[in-house]
Amino acid sequence: MDAPVLELRGLSVGYDDLAVVRDVDLTVNRGEIVALLGANGTGKSTTILTAAGELPPVGGEVRWRGTATTAPLHVRARMGMCFVPEERSVLMGMSVRDNLLLGSGGIDRAVELFPELRPLLGQRAGLLSGGEQQMLTLARALASNPVALLLDELSLGLAPLVVDRLFAALRRAADHDGVAVLLVEQQARRAMAVADRWYLLRRGAVAAQGNAADGIAAVESLYLGTE
Ligand SMILES: Nc1ncnc2c1ncn2[C@@H]1O[C@H](COP(=O)(O)OP(=O)(O)OP(=O)(O)O)[C@@H](O)[C@H]1O
């Protein structure tokens, strides 16, 4: 069997001397959507930022297609790892068209993935709704044909229908193009509806993991600490 596209092995990360992520093991395979769940402040963003090359681990390693890597974010991007951070990443002063041209995939593929963007191509990105901005972000990311897509809270503040639309595009990318997706999400129910497997972080460590068939109840009791 092929090595996982992305693997975190015994990963620990800290700010100053404080370890906030401890000994995390996680894999994402080709064509798989993996959700990283957990309440506020449990270390989800710290974990995905380290996976993306934005933060250095204090212990353990990040492995990319079978080999340990310490490459910075922009080098990982060239290797096919596409990271979408929690803060909006469209350039607000530029048109939708120019935002798409900044990606390596061009406009046609992006509009094929999200036809909703076609009438908005001339519009300034800053004038789009939050959902349209995230659509633009995801269209630009997917059009670049990533090997892996790492997404930090893509759904934050968006209406349920928009989240469904974005997640359906992720599912399609995983199923049709074999993209490996790591999805950091606070909304466990929605994330689990699209993911193949999930990990739940609590106080920086993996408290539980499972697959789509496990059902939301198991995760909810873990969130609440009633397991
Ligand atoms: N730059 C930083 N410097 C110091 N501490 C930080 C920094 N960023 C995050 N932390 C701390 O690390 C811990 C984990 O934060 P992180 O943002 O990774 O959690 P999270 O699960 O993504 O939370 P949220 O869902 O609220 O975004 C928190 O206690 C947070 O206060």
**Whole-model pTM over 0.90:** yes
Domain-embedded: residue 209? yes
Residue 216 has pLDDT above 50, yes or no: yes
Domain-embedded: residue 181? yes
CATH code assigned at 80: 3.40.50.300
15 lines ligand 1 (CB under 6 A): yes
Domain-embedded: residue 103? yes
Distances (CA, A) of 160 to 126, 189, 193: 21, 11, 13
Residue 219 has pLDDT above 80, yes or no: no
Question: Do 20 and 43 meet the contact criterion of CB atoms below 8 Å apart?
Answer: yes
130 falls in which pLDDT band (50, 70, 90)?
very high
Unique residue bearing structure tokens 């106080």: 203
203 lines ligand 1 (CB under 6 A): no
Dihedrals phi, psi of 77, to nearest 5 degrees: -60, -40
CA–centroid distance, residue 57 to ligand 1 (Å): 15
| Nearest CA residue ID for atom 12, ligand 1 | 20
145 lines ligand 1 (CB under 6 A): no
The interface pTM score, or ipTM, of the predicted complex is: 0.94
The string of pLDDT tens digits covering residues 175-193 is 999 999 999 998 888 899 9
Highest mean pLDDT among 27-36, 79-88, 189-198: 27-36
Distance separating alpha carbons of residues 117 and 135, to the nearest angstrom: 8
Tell me what pLDDT residue 186 has. Answer: 85
223 falls in which pLDDT band (50, 70, 90)?
low
Tell me what pLDDT residue 187 has. Answer: 84
| Nearest CA residue ID for atom 29, ligand 1 | 41
Separation of CA 138 from chain center: 10
Tell me what pLDDT residue 103 has. Answer: 84
Tell me what pLDDT residue 167 has. Answer: 96
Domain-embedded: residue 1? no
Residue 215 has pLDDT above 70, yes or no: no
Query: How many separate domains does the chain show?
Result: 1
Find, among 62, 29, 38, 72, the residue nearest to 153 by Cα: 38
Question: Do 18 and 38 meet the contact criterion of CB atoms below 8 Å apart?
Answer: no
Residue 13 has pLDDT above 50, yes or no: yes
226 lines ligand 1 (CB under 6 A): no
- Residue 172, CA atoms < 13 Å, CB-side half-sphere: 14
Domain-embedded: residue 115? yes
Q: Choose the residue to mutate in 13, 15, 183 for probing ligand 1, maximizing ligand atoms within 8 Å of C-beta.
A: 15
DSSP state of 4: P
Q: What is the mean pLDDT of the chain?
A: 92
What range defines the domain where residue 96 resides?
6-224
Q: How do beta strands 197-202 and 33-37 pair? A: parallel
Residue 226 has pLDDT above 50, yes or no: no
